[in-house]
Structures are given as structure tokens and as C-alpha cells.
Structure 1
Amino acid sequence: MENDAKCAALAELWLGSIKDKKDAIVLILGSAIGGGIIIDGKLHRGANLSAGEVSYINHRFNPETKEVGYFGLDCSAVEMVKKISKLKNLKDETDGEAVFEYINSGDEQAMEVFDTYCNLIAIQILNLHYVIDPELIAIGGGISAQPILIERINQAIDEIKKVNDFHVATPHIVACHFLNDANLYGALYHFEQSRKEE
């Protein structure tokens, strides 16, 4: 058994964007954020199988109530699409293609929400980069088919680095080769590997 994000990482390691990379990170942007970490050419699961579960990263903290904001919930691609859908009064609030028509056309309201989203992703990419120092970070999920996503995340990283002098990381970010189907290819790869081990 393997979860969808780990399967996506396996697919990209097998035949995709991180093939032949020793150290890499795969982030799957969807209803939450799935992750897979590759160390020394292998999927790293951790002592309790929680390595790469980036949705649980805390990126907001209230010192009075001790409540946190979770990266996966605050940076849900689905929720970002819903926000823009509501602003533009779309009938189907999950219509990502319609939302990206607004984003790609430079609509001011859509871009404000999208840029905030990309900034939050960029901050955590920098954090992850300092922990793992990967050769490559691959972004998957349905929205990874939109070239503007990687473009805006890279732009956000550059802007953050300009304002914060301590940042020295320069993450290399690409879209997953298998895009939204990576988990399916990874499940096949995991199944084949499991059969070899029997």
C-alpha cells in the first residue's frame, strides 16, 4: 500500500521529471498538499511513515491560543479555485479551467488570490529546500498543467529572496512529467516493485 502523493513521487522517480535524481521533492497540489521525498534515489518514508506529509507543516501559530495553520489546508489548490470562483460568480465553484482563464488573462481579482497562493507555496518550498537541499522540486496535481503556476512560484521565490537577505537557496522547480496522472503510474510501479520483492 502507498498513498497517492507517494505514488506520484515514485512515478516521477521511475520515468518522470526526477528520474536519475538522487535527492528530490515532489509536491502534489490538490485538496490538500501531498508530498514525496527522494533521498539517495529512493522514496524516504521515515521512522513512522510520515516523511513527506507536508500538509501537516505548521506555517501559522497563535501564541495565545496555541492554534496553528496547516500548510495543506491553507494552500489547498481546490480552495484557491473555489475562492476565485466565488469572486467571479461561476456556477461551478470547482471549475479549475474557467478559473485559470481568468488567471491567464490577468484578471485583477483572480491574480490577487492566485499570487497569495503562489507566495505561500514559495515560502514552504524555501523551507523544504533548506531541510532536504534537493536537486529538483517537482510540482504535480491538476493545476501543474498550467505553465503560469511554476512561473509565478519562481517569481514569488525571487521576490521573497530580494526582501530577505538571509535567503541563499535557489530551488530548481519543474512540473511533474505525469501531471495529474502521476499517482496512477506510481501505483503501477509500486505494484511491480512489490512483486519483485516477493
Structure 2
Amino acid sequence: MSQKILAIDIGGSAIKSGLWGNEALTELPSYPTPKTWDEMKAYLKLLVEEHQITDGVAISAPGAVNVEEGVIYGVSAVPYLHRFPIKQELADFLSVPVSFQNDANCAALAEIWQGNAKGLESAALMIIGTGIGGGIAINGKLRSGTNLFGGEFGYQVMNDDTLETLSDLGSPVAMSKRFSNIKADDRSYTSKEIFDLAEAGDELAQEQIDYFYNALSIGIYNILVSLDPDRVLIGGGISTREDLLFNIEERVQQLLLKKGAKELKASIMPCKFLSQANLIGAVYQFLEEQD
């Protein structure tokens, strides 16, 4: 009999969920992120009862998830998740086994398990969203690091004067804010609108996109010369843009050439999984823990 696992992805504004069974994920409707931990527990219990979940609940969460301790450290957009034995409390409350893993790590696990990092000796995954997260995979396992900072590529300092990080300069959300501030026409532009403006010849949009691409390329160059992985995978909604990969690859190659590392062959690809990545990776974490 196949397992039926409830997969949960906790985001700052919404919770995504899905049912894993027969080696496939069936997505459920998303739900606004509850305001308190008690409301969150009640919502999860409702899902467990409604879908008659007996095998377990696999959760992708923001923050520095200590898998061994079952505690989430760090900070996130959902502050009530942090610094208490969340895994044990939830398992007791739901009366089923529960697993937790960091959301960017879940995206990495999905690629290791069934995606574009499968079978590779090493891979680095850069997940581009509001900020930049990621993961490092060595021999099919996540390298979380001594302090759970493995793959936190967004923390790379990119500017010595301002101490701006890769998350500050290489995220589409940060690019949108920067563009809107400079444009100063009382509008908040989305990254898609900025790309559209650039294609129509808007010089400021072109300049900001160039700035964005350069930041990402320097970040990837740093990963390549630090880890020399078999492959760097790019995830997040913006990774579906066909021109993104072309522009990044071109800039990374130029950097490698300029800095005398031309023998370093860079394999850069988009992730296989997009919106379902965190849910699929959470299931893999759960299955690994049960084994």
C-alpha cells in the first residue's frame, strides 16, 4: 500500500500544500499564512483529518532549520515558528510523524532526488526570490554546514563600501525597488514590467537589469571558484526567463576568462522543479528520516 503524506510549504504570505502518494504530488489549494502558531496548528490538523493522513506530514519552512533538534533558528517572515521544539510539539498535536527542513534546502532536495542534480557528485543550487537562498549537494546529500549556513549564497558581500549582499543586489524584488526609487514616478514596478520596459528601449530599465545580471554572475562565479561543482542550478520564478540563463552564462564565462580560470567549465542550468520544488523536497526529507 502506497504512503500518503501531507506536504506543506510555509511562506510569508501563504501556505502551499499537497498530497504525496503513488510517487506523485497532487497540489491542494493554498491558504493565507495564519497569524499565530495556534491557528497554524489548527489549520494543519484540519488538513490531516480532512485527507485522513496517517503516514505523516512533511514541512518546508523558512529559517535555519536544525533537523536533528527539530528546532527552527534564525529569523523569517513567520516569527512564531522559531526557537522552541516545534517538530515534537506538532507531532504530538497531530499524532503523526512530522519532518521539517529549510525551504531553500527543500528545493535543493527535490533536484537531488528527481531533478537536474540527480546522480551528480556535486551541485550548487541558487534559489532566486525575494532574497537569495540555496543549497550545496555532495554525493546526493545536502551539505548544511556546521552552523546551518551551507548554501546561503545570498549573504555574499558584493560591495565593500556599502556591504550590500547578493540578496540586496541580485534579487528581482530588490531590482524592482531600486528601479522604482530611481524612476520616482509614484509607481511600484514589478520585475516583469522592468524587463518589458527594457525590451521597449527604456535605458534605466536596461541599466538596472544589467546591474542585476552582473550581481548574479559574480555570485555564481564565486560559487564556481569556491566549490567547483558539477553543476550550478538556478531556481525561483525568474529562472523561467529564457534570456536569464543566456545573460548569466555569458557574464560568468567573461569573468572566468578575465580572472585566469578559463579551464573551469561552468555548467549552469535551470532547476527542473519550480512551484512544487519545496513540497517535493519536503517529502524527500520526510522519507529519508523515516528510513
Band of TM-score, shorter chain: 0.7 to 0.9
Give % identity.
35
1:52 to 130, 134, 151: 151
* 1:123 match: 218
CA contact (8 A) 1:140 1:180 kept: no
Matched, 1:33 2:135: no
Aligned to 2:212, what secondary structure does the other structure show? helix
CA contact (8 A) 2:158 2:215 kept: no
* 2:228 match: 133
Q: Which moved more, 1:183-192 or 1:40-49?
A: 183-192
Shift of residue 91, structure 1, vs aligned partner: 4.8
Matched, 1:143 2:242: no
Shift of residue 127, structure 1, vs aligned partner: 1.2
Residues 109 and 10 (structure 1), Cα distance of their counterparts in 2 relative to 1, 3 Å cut: same
Asked which structure has the greater CA Rg, the reply is: 2
Q: TM-score, normalised by structure 2?
A: 0.59
1:154 to 249, 254, 266: 249
Q: Distance in 2 between matches of 1:104 and 1:22?
A: 39
2:265 to 153, 162, 170: 170
Matched, 1:7 2:106: yes
Which of the pair is proportionally richer in strand? 2
Q: Distance in 2 between matches of 1:179 and 1:171?
A: 22
Aligned to 1:179, what secondary structure does the other structure show? coil
Which gives a bigger RCO, structure 1 or 2 (Cα 8 Å, sep 6+)? Answer: 1
Matched, 1:181 2:276: yes
Q: Which runs of 5+ in 2 are unaligned?
A: 1-99
Q: Which runs of 5+ in 1 are unaligned?
A: none
Which of the pair is proportionally richer in helix? 1
Q: Number of residues paired by the alignment?
A: 190
Shift of residue 161, structure 1, vs aligned partner: 3.7
Q: TM-score, normalised by structure 1?
A: 0.84
- Two-structure CA RMSD over aligned residues (Å): 2.2
Residues 177 and 88 (structure 1), Cα distance of their counterparts in 2 relative to 1, 3 Å cut: farther
CA contact (8 A) 1:125 1:171 kept: no
Residues 165 and 74 (structure 1), Cα distance of their counterparts in 2 relative to 1, 3 Å cut: closer
